[in-house]
Amino acid sequence: MVYDYLIIGGGIIGLNIARALKLQEKDAKILVIEKEKEVGMHSSGRNSGVLHAGFYYSADSLKAKFTRVGNAKMHEFCKKRGLRINECAKVVVAQNDEELEGLEELKRRGDVNGVELSWMSESELKERFPLIKTNEKALFSPTTATIDPKEVTLEFKKYTQELGVEIKTDTAYLKRLSRHNIQTSNGNFEYKKLINCAGLYADKIAKDFDFGSKYVIIPFKGIYLKDKKNICGLETNVYPVPNLANPFLGVHYTYAVQNDSKIGPTAIPAFWRENYNGFDNFRLSEMVQILYYEAKLFLTNAFGFRNLAISEVKKYSKTYLTNLAKGLTKPLDMSGFDSWSTPGIRAQLLNTKTLELVQDFVVQGDEVSVHVLNAVSPAFTSSIPFSQWVVDNYVSK
C-alpha cells in the first residue's frame, strides 16, 4: 500500500496533524508510526499537564499565535470527550521591586495576544489565595488549567482511529530508502508525503531528508517534587516572573488535575535523548554529540548556560528545590513534598551556528517531507491550532 501521508511520531503533535488531515481529506490513507508500545510515552505524556494561557510570548511568535486558541480548543476537546480538567487558574507573583517590571511586561504581552488577565493587589491576593505572597501586586490568569497529559494523548489516539487513521506502535523509523520509501523496525513503508513529528529525534530524521542542517536537539531533564495529598493546601498554580531570555519558566507550584501539588520543574542538561533514569536507553553516539555542544555552551557560557547548568543540578536536592519555591508563598506545610515525579525530557532545539536555544516553533519541508523540528512548551496546549497551521502551510499547500 502507498499511504497518502505517513507521520513519524505518536505524540500530541503527530496525532493532531493526522486528525487535521483526516478531517480535511476524508479518503486519505494516513499512517502514524510510533517506536514505543503506546503513544505519548515521551514529552506528550510526561509534561506538567498545564494548559497555558498564552501571555509569556511576544506577539510576533507562533507561540503567541496558537496558545490562547489552543487553550480554548483543548478545554473544548476535554469537555466533549469527558476528560478531567482542573480549572485552577494561575497566579504570577513578584518577589521584589525589580520583578514588577517583568510582571508588567507579561501583562503587556497578554493584552496584545488577547489573553484574559487581571491584576490582583496584595490585599485581594490575601483574600482569595491567603497562602500566596507577592510584592505590591500579582497577575491572575483565569484560563490556565491542568489536565492529565497521558489521558488526553490517549484520547486523541482513540479519536484519530475513529476517523480512520491507522496507527502502528512498536514501529521505529530506521532510515530513508528512497524519495518515497522508508525502512522501519516493522517493515518498509511507501508514501506520497512524510511528516516528521519525532520529538527528541526530529533533527536526526530531518537530516536524512536534507533539512535541519544548522540545528541539533539538546535534551533537558525535567522532574517535579510531589505532594500527593496536597498537604501544603494550595489550590492554584503559582509561578515566579521568568527570565524571558530563556525558554524556562522557573521553579513554580503546579496544582494538578489529581488534586496533588508539585514543585518544579528542573531543566537539567541531559547527556542523551532518553536519559531518564540511570543508563536506560543509553547511546554512545548521542552522548558524544550532545556533550560536544553542551561543553561548547558551558565554556562560552552562551545565554548563561554555565550558570543555568550549575543551578539546575543543585535542584536534585529536595531542600534546595523547596527553598526556591518558598519565595512564592507564605510558610506552608512542606512535609508532603516527599517523592519525585516521573522524569520527562524537553527536546530543545539549539542553533549550532549562533549557539542560541530556539524559543519558537520551527517547521521545515518541501513537497515530499515536512519536519516539525521544535515543538517545545507550550506545544501541548497549542497542539490543535498549531497542527492545523502545519497542515495548511506545509502539508496541503
Q: What is the pLDDT along the chain (397 residues), one digit of tens a residue?
A: 999 999 999 999 999 999 999 999 999 999 999 999 999 999 999 999 999 999 999 999 999 999 999 999 999 999 999 999 999 999 999 999 999 999 999 999 999 999 999 999 999 999 999 999 999 999 999 999 999 999 999 999 999 999 999 999 999 999 999 999 999 999 999 999 999 999 999 999 999 999 999 999 999 999 999 999 999 999 999 999 998 777 678 899 999 999 999 999 999 999 999 999 988 889 999 999 999 999 999 999 998 899 889 989 899 999 999 999 999 999 999 999 999 999 999 999 999 999 999 999 999 999 999 999 999 999 999 999 999 999 999 998 6
Phi-psi label, residue 396: left if phi above 0, alpha if psi -120 to 50, beta otherwise: alpha
d(CA 287, CA 273): 8
In which residue ranges of the chain is CATH 3.50.50.60 found?
1-85+145-214+359-397
Spatial CB neighbours of 240, under 8 Å, sequence gap ≥ 6: 92, 93, 95, 99, 249, 250, 251, 252, 327, 328
- φ, ψ dihedrals at 329, nearest 5°: -135, 170
Cell matching residue 230: 496536597
Which residues on adjacent β-strands are paired with residue 168?
Answer: 33
Phi-psi label, residue 115: left if phi above 0, alpha if psi -120 to 50, beta otherwise: beta
Output the CA torsion 51→54→60→66 (10° steps). Answer: 40
d(CA 389, CA 211): 19
Q: In b/e form, how buried is each residue of 349-387, taking b as 16+ CB within 10 angstroms?
A: bbeeeeeebbbbbbbbbeeebbbbbbbbbbbbbbbbbbb
- Which pLDDT value is given to residue 243? 81
d(CA 309, CA 284): 21
Amino acid letter, 304: G
- Which pLDDT value is given to residue 397? 64
d(CA 246, CA 249): 8
CA–CA distances in Å: residue 366 to residues 81, 132, 200: 35, 50, 21
Cell matching residue 6: 505517513
Strands 337-340 and 362-365: unpaired
d(CA 48, CA 32): 25
- Which pLDDT value is given to residue 188? 98
In terms of Cα–Cα distance, which of 85, 125, 147 is closest to 329?
A: 125
d(CA 11, CA 100): 37
CATH number for domain 1-85+145-214+359-397, candidates 1.10.1040.10, 3.50.50.60, 2.40.50.100, 3.40.50.280: 3.50.50.60
Cβ-contact 296, 370 below 8 angstroms: no
Cβ-contact 17, 370 below 8 angstroms: no
- Which pLDDT value is given to residue 280? 85
